[in-house]
């Protein structure tokens, strides 16, 4: 195997060739970074959390492929993943995950002790999530905690404390994750039933579309409360209104439960997260000019 072929396999293993997972992890992290920094976070903290997001998401994907290697071979969409197809040994995938996690840990060593302390549950959540599909009825909620744990870490890094608004933002991210990962699970509903894997799409059953839209509404409501707690201005709430409009567009995509529409809605969540962040950043920028 050539170096180029090996590099391509590692890109597939870590999903670096499909950055949607990184973006869904990055946006809530940046919500926390910007709010904790009152719109002016330290540049090195932004860099640390952006790079840490990329590394931890990639590590999580490697562990996920190891955990799901026996399931993935029965699903057309995943049977050609490097571990399942035998092109990367399972043990090697674990080592990739471990090395990437260690690199992420090295990044935060210059930060304060509270941030370092919070990094341990963050790593545990990221690496244990792939196994929760075996016993949790709604693993998407666990994913939301794992994907949102950068929020309290961002507050800890900049303030040396984790105020209530940080945990509120984390809960908002949990509901957002349930929304978008249920859309994703709706794509694999038939395969999950056959393989005995738990998902929110199976838990919600015929009420899946209603549940997704309710989770979007709760997400926006919690973000609105967070805005009130931090004294946010008009641009912040305009961002939330636009994000809710994006959620309503997702209803059009998922209402008939067709695989293509559900997967398109899942991918489009990048714009939901980006719009919320744009509202946060624009609001702080506008207030700094006043």
Between the two ends of the chain, the Cα-to-Cα distance in Å is 60
CA–CA dist 191, 201 (Å, integer)? 12
Spell out, as residue ranges, where the chain has pLDDT lower than 70: 1, 72, 74, 76, 191-196, 290
What is the pTM (predicted TM-score) of this model? 0.92
The per-residue pLDDT for 171 is 97
The single residue listed with the structure tokens 């997967």 is 263
What CATH number should be reported for the domain holding residue 222?
1.10.357.140
Question: What number of CA atoms fall less than 13 Å from residue 185's CA on the CB side?
Answer: 28
In tens, the pLDDT along 95-147 reads 999 999 999 999 999 999 999 999 999 989 988 887 887 777 788 888 899 98
How many domains does the chain fold into? 1
- Residues 6 or more apart whose Cβ sits within 8 Å of residue 148: 28, 169, 170, 173, 174, 177
Domain housing 133? 3-289
Q: Do 132 and 69 meet the contact criterion of CB atoms below 8 Å apart?
A: no
């Amino acid at each position: 195997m050539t170096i180029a072929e090996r590099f391509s396999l590692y890109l597939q293993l870590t999903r670096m060739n499909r950055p949607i997972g990184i973006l869904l992890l990055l946006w809530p992290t940046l919500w926390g970074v910007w709010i904790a920094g009152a719109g002016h976070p330290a540049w090195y903290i932004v860099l640390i959390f952006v790079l840490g997001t990329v590394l931890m998401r990639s590590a999580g994907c490697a562990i996920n492929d190891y955990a799901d290697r026996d399931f993935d071979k029965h699903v057309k969409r995943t049977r050609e993943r490097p571990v399942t197809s035998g092109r990367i040994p399972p043990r090697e995938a674990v080592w990739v995950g471990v090395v990437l996690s260690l690199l992420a840990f090295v990044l935060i060593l210059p930060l304060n002790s509270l941030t370092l302390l919070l990094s341990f549950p963050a790593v545990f959540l990221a690496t244990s999530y792939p196994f929760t599909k075996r016993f949790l009825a709604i693993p998407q909620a666990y994913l939301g905690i794992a994907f949102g744990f950068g929020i309290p870490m961002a507050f800890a890094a900049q303030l040396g404390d984790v105020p209530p608004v940080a945990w509120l933002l984390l809960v908002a991210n949990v509901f957002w994750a349930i929304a978008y990962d249920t859309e994703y699970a709706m794509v694999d509903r038939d395969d999950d039933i056959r393989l005995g894997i738990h998902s929110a799409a199976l838990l919600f059953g015929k009420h899946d579309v209603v549940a997704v839209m309710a989770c979007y509404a709760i997400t926006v409501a919690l973000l609105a409360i967070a805005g009130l707690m931090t004294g946010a201005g008009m641009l912040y709430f305009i961002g939330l209104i636009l994000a809710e409009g994006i959620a309503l567009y997702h209803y059009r995509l998922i209402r008939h439960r067709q695989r293509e529409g559900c997967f398109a809605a899942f991918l489009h969540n990048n714009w939901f997260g980006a719009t919320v962040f744009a509202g946060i950043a624009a609001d702080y920028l506008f207030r700094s000019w006043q």
